[in-house]
Amino acid sequence: MSYLKTIEEMKKGKFAPVYYFHGSERYMIEALKQSLISNGMDQDEQDTNLSIYDLEETAIQEVVQDAETFPFLGERKIIFASNADFLRAKPAKTEVEHLPEVLVDYLENPAPYSILVIVAPYEKVDERKKIVKRLKKTAKTVACEPLKEWNMQEVLATIAKEHRVSISEEVMTYFINEIGTNLMIIHSEMEKLALYVGEGNTIRIEDAELLLSSQENSSALKLMDAIMINDLAKAINITKDLEKMNEDPIALIALVASQYRTLLHVKLLKQKGYTQQQIVSQLKIHPYVAKISMTRQAKFQTKELKEAIALLTETDAQIKTGAMEKSLAFELLLYKLIQKRQSVS
């Protein structure tokens, strides 16, 4: 089940006896945890009927024993068991000896008065293990993974609805380009926009342009856009704005260089017949980044991309050795990159 649907169920008072949260998106895990606590238990019960375990320090069989113990003066118990390292192919060596078969047995007949949550905050677990298969089969499983391109709009619409505001597809696209896929930042920025426009109103594109906080990747994307359309004035204005925000030219060079390297890698892989999905897997980049890069790489020649990377490397060295002042060196770099663009356009 999805992260958002699970939280919706919790808000309605619908709970599963066992949850299994897995994946590297820790903000999702924390949001699920807080939703379960706030909706599943009164504040005055938390001292006695809420248990939080670290499975790097406590054996799973002790956690199960707690789940099987009746709640104290309350309707239910909630037990969180985090860092379920024993679900991975190569668990870390610790003094804690886990007996996963105890959890397997518990899953067959979970206590009706307990909610047990197993958390594996890792990119991968060993899907071949019996306990992993049983968890996915019997527990309410939530994949807490970084947002993908295909579900970004659904997430944005749902978060906007939670704040009782509306958001158009145009604003969603702008939001994704500016903020990226970090869920914590998305929640924070949406809350800011909702407070600005007020409940029951619609977030307009001018509201988003005014209030959204630019992220580093967004800065690099904007600079790339300006370079691609041969707009030196726009590129320099973006740079000036970033300098006012204390962005260091060396960091900007690194960001722009990463954009060029990604474009080069995508172009070379595409020439070999790789699909967008295969490129995502090969380069370990986000699907949204891959989609943008697939479009952009067509506007560059391989030679131009390689020369641009060499120029970025040279400018970085000039700044670090003190051969040229930072801001001047970066503006000259932009001029040279755009000049290259014009010569091939």
Q: What is the C-alpha to C-alpha distance for residues 117 and 155, in angstroms, rounded to an integer?
A: 23
Q: How many CA atoms lie within 13 A of 339 on its CB side?
A: 8
pLDDT for position 171: 86
Q: What is the C-alpha to C-alpha distance for residues 171 and 183, in angstroms, rounded to an integer?
A: 17
Q: Which of 60-64, 65-69, 275-279 has the lowest mean pLDDT?
A: 275-279
Q: What is the C-alpha to C-alpha distance for residues 208 and 192, in angstroms, rounded to an integer?
A: 10
Q: What is the mean pLDDT of residues 141-162?
A: 81
* 144, pLDDT greater than 80: yes
* 94, pLDDT greater than 90: no
Residue 339 burial (10 A CB sphere; 0-12, 13-18, 19+): exposed
* 119, pLDDT greater than 90: yes
Pick the CATH number of 3-143 from 3.40.50.720, 3.40.50.300, 3.40.47.10, 1.10.240.10: 3.40.50.300
Q: Which two structure tokens, joined as six digits, stand for 38?
A: 């706030």
* 172, pLDDT greater than 60: yes
Is the four-CA dihedral 40, 43, 47, 53 of positive or negative sign? positive
- The amino acid at 344: V
* 77, pLDDT greater than 60: yes
List Cβ neighbours of 8 (8 Å cut-off, separation of 6 or more).
Answer: none
Please identify which residue in the block is written with the tokens 């949850």.
19
pLDDT category, 219, cuts 50, 70, 90? low
Q: What is the mean pLDDT of residues 133-148?
A: 89
Comparing 3-143 with 216-344, is the CATH topology the same?
A: no
pLDDT category, 341, cuts 50, 70, 90? confident
Instruction: Please provide the distance, in angstroms rounded to a whole number, between the alpha carbons at the two ends of the chain.
Output: 48
In the chain, where are the structural domains located? Answer: 3-143, 149-211, 216-344
* 148, pLDDT greater than 70: no
* 205, pLDDT greater than 80: yes
Q: What is the C-alpha to C-alpha distance for residues 131 and 169, in angstroms, rounded to an integer?
A: 42
Q: Which two structure tokens, joined as six digits, stand for 36?
A: 């379960």
pLDDT category, 93, cuts 50, 70, 90? confident
> What rounded mean pLDDT belongs to the chain?
87
pLDDT category, 255, cuts 50, 70, 90? confident
Q: What is the mean pLDDT of residues 202-207?
A: 90
* 181, pLDDT greater than 80: no
Q: Which of 13-27, 175-189, 256-270 has the lowest mean pLDDT?
A: 175-189
Query: Which DSSP string do the residues of 1-40 spell out, in sequence order?
Result: --HHHHHHHHHTT---SEEEEESS-HHHHHHHHHHHHHHH
Axis crossing angle, helix 152-162 with helix 183-197, rounded to the nearest 10 = 40
Q: What is the pTM of this model?
A: 0.59
List, in sequence order, every residue forming a beta bridge with 203; answer none if it has no partner.
167
Q: What is the C-alpha to C-alpha distance for residues 98 and 103, in angstroms, rounded to an integer?
A: 10
Q: What is the mean pLDDT of residues 115-144?
A: 94
Q: What is the mean pLDDT of residues 199-224?
A: 76
Instruction: Calculate what percentage of the chain has a pLDDT beyond 70.
Output: 93
Please identify which residue in the block is written with the tokens 């691609």.
228
Tell me, which fold does domain 216-344 have in CATH? Zinc Finger, Delta Prime; domain 3 (1.20.272)
Contact, 185 vs 215, CB < 8 A? yes
* 286, pLDDT greater than 70: no
pLDDT category, 25, cuts 50, 70, 90? confident
Q: What is the pLDDT of residues 297-314, one digit of tens each?
A: 998 999 999 999 999 999
Query: Which DSSP string do the residues of 56-103 spell out, in sequence order?
Result: TTS-HHHHHHHHHSPPSSSS-EEEEEE--GGGSSSPPP-S----HHHH
pLDDT for position 245: 64
The CATH number of the domain covering residues in 149-211:
1.10.8.60
Q: What is the C-alpha to C-alpha distance for residues 100 and 318, in angstroms, rounded to an integer?
A: 57
Q: What is the C-alpha to C-alpha distance for residues 338 and 317, in angstroms, rounded to an integer?
A: 20
pLDDT for position 18: 97
CB atoms < 10 A from the CB of 197, how many?
A: 17
Q: What is the mean pLDDT of residues 149-168?
A: 83
Beta strands in 195-308 (DSSP E): 202-203
pLDDT for position 258: 85
Axis crossing angle, helix 326-344 with helix 249-271, rounded to the nearest 10 = 30
pLDDT for position 157: 87
Q: What is the mean pLDDT of residues 43-50?
A: 89
DSSP state of 247: -
